[in-house]
Amino acid sequence: FLSPKLENKTKGKLQKQVCQVVLDHFEKQYSAELGDVWSSVRDVLTYPSCWQHAVLLNKFSHAADLEDTLCAQGYHPAFSATLPYLPRSLKCYVSRTPGRFPSQKHQTGRLKEYYLLNAASVLPVLALEVKDGEDVLDLCAAPGGKSIVILQCASPGQFHCNEYDELRFRWLRQTMESFIPHPQFDLITISNLDGRQIGELKPEFFDKILVDAPCSNDRSWLFSFDIQQATLRLLRRRELSVLQFQLLRSAIKALRPGGSLVYSTCTLSKAENSDVINLILNSCSNVIPVDIREIAKAVSQEFTFHSDTQQHELLVLPEKGRAWGPMYVAKLRKIQST
């Protein structure tokens, strides 16, 4: 951590960058939804100097001494062998101290050795448990981090990465080109479709589906530099849960009976998390919740979880020294309709 003098100076500087309109909105909502926990979460979210970044190694490219370099700098493996699903090919390193490992620039024709991400972003993929040969859909895939994690874990039969937003779609394609070698890259479908229509286009086609839905991204919204844009976002926030519900309905149609679906967001908002999942469970008779408490138990050394969740869901709460999240994860399984 920084010296007290520098910390105060930095904190003052960063405090000015927090968008007060968004903070006031979050303060009202999250103090009601999270209670006493909110104040410590708020302190992390509004103070980027204590944020941490995990280093996900690229199995297709990383240098032999990269793990030694990370360990020498105080990094250690993020995930424990007690997890129900942890492929040996998945290597993700974290450090308890804030800071960021140097990022690598995109170079055409050259693969990157690692991907920097919030370690909580790996949890939805661990919950999905992709196995070799399964047909997999990443419905809202940009910027591509979770797609990269899926490919570190397994070799899907068919892998479809979709992103509706044109700009984010181009970002997704570039990410995949930076990490995946050509033989594998050529087997991946990268599409620019409206996710709400994929269920109709590919009914009962996939074994596993990840719906990392568009959400009110708490970290980035807090640092909105355009107050008008921030105000508009907050006014339209309720529309997100409608979109999330529609994306989930589409994903369920695209899922084979017996297949699994993981829903995730990077917001603390109950309206976009458990409320959406409860609405799906109450309106879709062909999906059932899947218990994922074992994941939380296995990674409790590295992550802090909200205690008030059901057995089929997790909510990662950022705290100092474990500044991962917010990340909501829920798992469902499709059953044969009766």
145 is an annotated ligand-binding site residue: yes
Annotated catalytic residue 266: yes
DSSP labels, 129-191:
---TT--EEETT-TT-HHHHHHHHH---SSEEEE--SHHHHHHHHHHHHHHS-HHHHTTEEEE
- Structure tokens, 333: 């399984």
Identify the H or E element spanning 206. strand 206-212
Nearest to 121 by CA among 107, 99, 142: 142
Asked whether 149 and 90 are in contact (CB, 8 A), the reply is: yes
Report the alpha-carbon distance of residue 320 to residue 323 in Å, rounded. Answer: 5
Is position 135 annotated in a ligand binding site?
Answer: no
- Residue 255 CA to residue 144 CA, distance in Å, equals 21
The answer to whether the annotation marks 270 as part of a ligand binding site is: no
Is 54 flagged in the annotation as binding? no
CA distance 211 to 248: 7
The backbone torsions φ and ψ at residue 251, rounded to the nearest 5 degrees and listed phi first, read: -65, -40
- The response to whether 144 counts as a known ligand-binding position is yes
**Per-residue burial over 300-334, b = 16 or more CB atoms within 10 Å of its CB, e = otherwise:** eebbbbbeebeebbbbbbbbeebbbbbbbbbbbbb
* CB 146 within 8 Å of CB 212: yes
User: What is the distance between the alpha carbons of residues 16 and 34, in angstroms, rounded to a whole number?
Assistant: 25
Residue 143 marked in a binding site: yes
Determine whether the annotation assigns residue 140 to a binding site.
yes
| Distance separating alpha carbons of residues 127 and 291, to the nearest angstrom | 10
Q: Please give the structure tokens belonging to residue 124.
A: 């939805």
Rounded Cα distance between 123 and 91, Å, is 13
Q: Which of 83, 209, 91, 218 is nearest to 158 (CA)?
A: 209
Determine which one of 50, 92, 153, 266 is catalytic: 266
| Residue 146 annotated as lining a ligand binding site | yes
Output the known binding site.
140-146, 163, 194, 212
Output the known binding site for S-adenosyl-L-methionine.
140-146, 163, 194, 212
Point out the residues that are catalytic.
266
